[in-house]
Amino acid sequence: MILSRHDSVIRLPSPQIPPPRAHLWFKGVRVSASRRAVARAQRVGLLSDFRLRISDFRRHVRSFPKLGCCLFLTLYPAVQPTRAATVCPAGATLRGVDVSVFQGTIDWTRVRTSGVAFAFIRVSDGTFQDTEFSANYSGAKTAGVTRSAYQYFEPADDPVVQANLLLQKIGTLEPGDLAPALDVEVTGSQSAAVIVSHIQTWITSIEKATGRVPFIYTSSGFWNASVASGIFSGVPLWVANWGVSCPNLPTAWTNWSFWQYTDAGSVPGIPNVVDLDEFNGSARELLTLAGLPTLRIASASSGAATVAWPAASTNFVLQQISGLGTTNWVSVTNSAVVVGNENQVRISPLPVLQFYRLKAR
């Protein structure tokens, strides 16, 4: 995500603001605000949410990593948002990043080795294409980083044109790819009704083309104040909330899939500061979400075993082989039975040495 020409919500990291000015970092740009403005916001209970208005900010500026020294900014309190629930991770979590041209040339092998499991990669800002997308998207895949393409949403632009650009850039989703994500954090001077309508059109276009439900990236401050819709509660949430131990959710959602918890991270292989993210689940759950299910093999009585995988993964066939030195994988003919949220196949009698895999149909 980058600083846009439109209004964007920023968050203050702490109520302790040193005089005489408060310095805020927003997508790599330092913003200064008078202490009086901050104190006024504290008095009216708006400490956490401000709106950043950029005067005479031209679209082509977004193509440069550094914005220069002469950008005039006005900080003013935003509308008080509706308070939503704070939701902590349910259990295991995984580390991730989200990147764009502003992170520079990335060494994805080093990124993966450092423990990063997934990455959201910017394809464009509206129809303004990210020049590093192709290198980042292919590089992440090659290095074994689970990837997703995200698009910075411009509500004033045609949502179908934006969706088609993303689809053209990513091609066919492969097993192991996460669904695309829509970065919703500006109004584009549009009403909430228009924003909601354009989000829905974008989601419908992506879902029809990929067969996957995309993610929505947003923050509680922006969504509650500028969108205020609950119709996307079934869309997986990628929530932005920095400097907290657990994220505060927009009122439309009760849980989150991904959480962007800082915009000032450091990761080996990424030369510039980077957004850091967390997945609310295990490695197995991430792969399942990415359309690449994992097998679970459990021993049973009388020399039998049960091979299981998520029931939601319907486009895979179970195969077996007696030795890894051969390539003669054959399909398992035993019928799968759905038990709970799993497909289960009982193998009996159990071979002495047998390997199993799921292959995409």
List the structure tokens of 125: 């800002």
Rounded Cα–Cα distance for residues 232 and 214 (Å):
11
- What is the Rg, in whole angstroms, of the alpha carbon atoms belonging to the chain? 23
Q: Listing from the earlier edge strand, what are the strands of the sheet with 337-339?
A: 296-299, 305-310, 342-347, 337-339
pLDDT in tens, 62-94: 333 433 333 333 333 333 444 458 999 989 999
pLDDT in tens, 152-182: 999 999 999 999 999 999 999 988 999 999 9
125 is catalytic: no
- DSSP string of 135-165, one letter each residue: HHHHHHHHHT-EEEEEEE--TTS-HHHHHHH
Domain 94-289, CATH 2.60.120.260 — does that match? no
- DSSP string of 169-187, one letter each residue: HH-SPPTTPPPPEEE----
**Torsion sign (Cα): 247, 238, 256, 270:** negative
Pairing type for strands 342-347 and 305-310 reads: antiparallel
Query: How far is the CA of 19 from the CAs of 14, 22, 33, 34, 48, in angstroms?
Result: 13, 7, 10, 9, 18
Catalytic residue among 185, 263, 285, 342: 185
Tokens 């040339």, residue located: 105
Band (pLDDT 50/70/90 cuts) for residue 303 is confident
Band (pLDDT 50/70/90 cuts) for residue 226 is very high
Band (pLDDT 50/70/90 cuts) for residue 300 is low
- 36: DSSP letter: H
Q: H/E element holding 225?
A: helix 220-226
Band (pLDDT 50/70/90 cuts) for residue 137 is very high
pLDDT in tens, 19-56: 333 334 343 343 444 434 433 332 223 333 333 333 33
Catalytic residue among 132, 183, 263, 285: 183
Amino acid present at 263 = D
pTM of the complete model: 0.69
Tell me what the pLDDT averaged over the chain comes to. Answer: 79
183 is catalytic: yes
Q: H/E element holding 108?
A: helix 108-113
49 is catalytic: no
